[in-house]
Amino acid sequence: MKKLLIYLKGYERETVLAPLFKMLEALFELFVPLVMAAVIDTGIANEDRGYIVKMCLVLVALGVIGLVCSITAQYFSARAATGFAAGLRHALFSHVQSLSYTEMDTIGTSTLITRLTSDINQVQSGVNLTLRLFLRSPFIVFGAMVMAFTVDVPAAFIFVVTIPLLSIVVFGIMLWTMPLYRKVQGALDQVLLLTRENLTGVRVIRAFNKEEEERVRFEEETERLTGLQKFVGRISGLMNPVTYVIVNGAVVLLLYTGAVRVDSGILTQGQVVALVNYMSQILVELVKLANLIITMTKAFACGNRIQSILEVESSLKPGSFTGKEYGGEGSGKDVPGGQEGQGKKSGNGPSVRFEHVSLTYAGAGSEALTDIDFEAKAGETVGIIGGTGSGKTSMVNLIPRFYDATKGRVLVNGRDVKEYDLGALRERIGVVPQRAVLFAGTIEENLRWGGQNAAEEELWEALTVSQAKEFVEKKEEGLQTRVAQGGRNLSGGQRQRLTIARALVKKPDVLILDDSASALDFATDAALRRALAERGGDTITFIVSQRTSSIQHADKILVLEDGEVIGMGTHQSLLENCRVYQEIYYSQFDKDAGKAQSGREVG
C-alpha cells in the first residue's frame, strides 16, 4: 500500500493543507469546554447576563471559524483523494494493457475489473478519510487529555488510563479484520466472475434451460460473500460498543471523582462540566477514529491487492528495434524474404519464419505447439487448418507476440520478434481474431482503429475488399451508423466483415485472419478470398480456417494435429499425401465431387 502513495505526487499541497485545516478546526473545538466552564462559573454563578452573551458570541465565532476550516479541509482532501484515485486508475489500466496474454490468463478478467473499480474506490475513500481524520482525531484525543490536565491533574489521570485502553481495542480489531477484508474482496471477485459469465452467456443458459442451476450457483456465491461480510462486520461492529462502554465508564468515574472534589471545594461545577465535555469529545473522536480504522483496513487490503497487480511483470520484454525501413541490419542476406530467388517478391519485401518453434502455456503439462518450422515470403497466402485444439490460433498468436515461443524463434523480416519494440512490431501486423470485437461508436470510428489518418476512400476500399460495402451503403447514415457495444446491433457476418475491413485499413505487412470468416456464407467467403488475392502487393496473408474451401487456393497450407505440422504443401499435394487433410476435405465435400474438382484444378 505504501508504494501507491507515489500517485499523490502533484497533490502535495492538498495533502498538507487538508489535515492542517482539520487540526485548526480541532484546536478551536478544544476551547469550547473552557468557554462553557467560564459561562457556568462566572456568568451563571454571578448572574452576569452581559458576560454570558459575550461568551455565547465567542462560542458562535469558534463554531463559524471551525466550520470554515472544516469545509476547506473537506475540499482539499476530496481533491487529493480523487486525483490520487485517477492517477492510480490510469497507472493500473496502463499496466494491465502492458501485460501479455499469459499474465491476463493467469490473473483473470473478473479480478482485474474488481481492482480497477471497487478496490480503487475503497482506496480513494481511505485516502479521503485519512487526510481528514487521521491527524484530527488523535489531536483531539490527546489535546483533550492535555486540556484536562490544565483543569485538574488528579481527574486527568482517568484520561491517561482510558486512552491507552481504547487504543488497544481499536488497533487490535484493526489487525484482526485486515486479512478478513482481503477474503471479502476475493469473494467479490468470484461473484463478479459468475455475474459476467451469466450476463455474457445468457443466450446459452436459456437455450439449455439452466436458469435455475445458475441461480443456485449465484446464490451460493453471494451467500458466501454475505457470510464473510457479516463475520468481519460483527468483529468491526464490536468497536463502537466496546469504545462506548470504556468511555462511558470513564465518564461515570469522572463524575464521581468530580463530585467528590466539588464537594471538597477543590473543583468548580464548570470545571467538572469541562472535564465531562473533554471526555465526550474523546468518545466522539474515537468513534470517528474507529470508523476511520475500518475504512483504512479495507483500503489497505484493497491497496495491497492493487499493488500485487502492479508488481506483476509482463513476461514479454520488448526490444528496441523499430524497423521503420526494410534496410540496414534487416535486409540483404539477413532477411529470408530478401534472399535472391526466394518468394514471389524479391528485395526487401516482408517475410515470416518459424524456426523449430514450440510453445507451452503457463501451468500446462504439455506443449501446445511442437517444432513448427516453415517460412512465408512476400505476397504469399498461407492456409492453416486442423482439428479443434490442434494449435492453429496458438501458432498465429506468436507472430504479433501475444505469447512468446518457449523454444525456437519467430522471425519477422529476418529479425526475432523479441528484438522488436512491441508497438513497432504490431504496427506491421493486422489481426482479425476468432471472435469479432467491435466497440461502441460509429462504423468509421471502428475502422479508424486500423489507421487514424486514413482517407475516406481508403475506408471504402477496405469495406469493398471485406465484402462489407454493400450492407454499409444500405445503412441510412453510412459510415456514421452507430455500432452498439460489442456490435450487438449487427449480425455475426457483418461484425466479421467489419473487423476484416478494420485490419485492411491498417495496410499491414502481415495479415492474420484467424477463422474470421466462420459466420460468412460460402459465396461471400469466396468473394472475400478473391478480393484479397486481387489486392496483390507484398502482404503475407495467414488464413486460419476449418473450411478447406477457404484455404485451398493458398500458396502453402499447413495441416496441424496436436500442435505439430503433419502436412505442408499445396491443396493438391496434401489431398494426395496427407491423411488428416483428406479427412477434413472429404468430410466437407463429396468424395467423387472432390476428385472431379481436383481434376479440373490440375487441368
Domain assignments of the chain as residue spans, ordered by start: 13-310, 328-428+508-602
Specify the length of the chain in residues.
Answer: 603
Dump pLDDT digits (tens) for 377-435. Answer: 999 999 999 988 899 999 999 999 999 999 999 999 999 999 999 888 989 899 998 88
Q: How far apart are CA 414 and CA 577, in angstroms?
A: 31
Bridge partners (DSSP) of residue 376 are: 352
The CATH number of domain 328-428+508-602 is 3.40.50.300: yes
Q: How far apart are CA 564 and CA 358, in angstroms?
A: 9
Classify 320 as helix, strand or coil: coil
Distances (CA, A) of 591 to 171, 214, 434, 567, 597: 79, 45, 29, 20, 10
- What is the topology classification, in CATH, of domain 13-310? ABC transporter transmembrane region fold (1.20.1560)
Backbone angles phi, psi at 354, to 5 degrees: -105, 120
Q: Residue 497: which H helix or E strand, with range?
A: helix 492-505
Q: Residue 410: which H helix or E strand, with range?
A: strand 407-412
Backbone angles phi, psi at 440, to 5 degrees: -60, 130
Q: Which three cell numbers stand for residue 138?
A: 488523535
**pTM of the model as a whole:** 0.71
Q: What pLDDT score does 591 carry?
A: 64
Bridge partners (DSSP) of residue 557 are: 383, 569
Backbone angles phi, psi at 386, to 5 degrees: 165, 170
Residue 372 CA, distance from chain mean position: 34
Distances (CA, A) of 2 to 24, 154, 303, 525, 552: 27, 41, 9, 56, 59
Question: Reduced to 3 DSSP states, what percent helix, strand and coil does the chain have, rounded to the nearest 5?
Answer: 65, 10, 25
Bridge partners (DSSP) of residue 514 are: 544
Nearest C-alpha neighbor of 6 from the set 271, 435, 307, 442: 307
Residue 580: CB atoms within 10 A of its CB come to 17
Contact 399, 510 (CB under 8 A): yes
Bridge partners (DSSP) of residue 353 are: 375, 411
Contact 282, 162 (CB under 8 A): yes
Kindly give the residue spans of alpha helices, DSSP state H, lying in 238-329.
239-263, 269-310
Q: Is 339 exposed, middle or buried (0-12, 13-18, 19+ CB in 10 A)?
A: middle
Q: How far apart are CA 297 and CA 283, in angstroms?
A: 21
Bridge partners (DSSP) of residue 564 are: 561
Q: What pLDDT score does 333 carry?
A: 36
Contact 147, 33 (CB under 8 A): yes
Q: Where are the beta strands (DSSP E) in 302-403?
A: 352-359, 369-376, 381-386
Beta-carbon contacts of 293 under 8 Å, excluding residues fewer than 6 positions away, are 170, 171, 173, 174, 239
Residue spans of the chain under pLDDT 50: 325-347, 596, 598-603
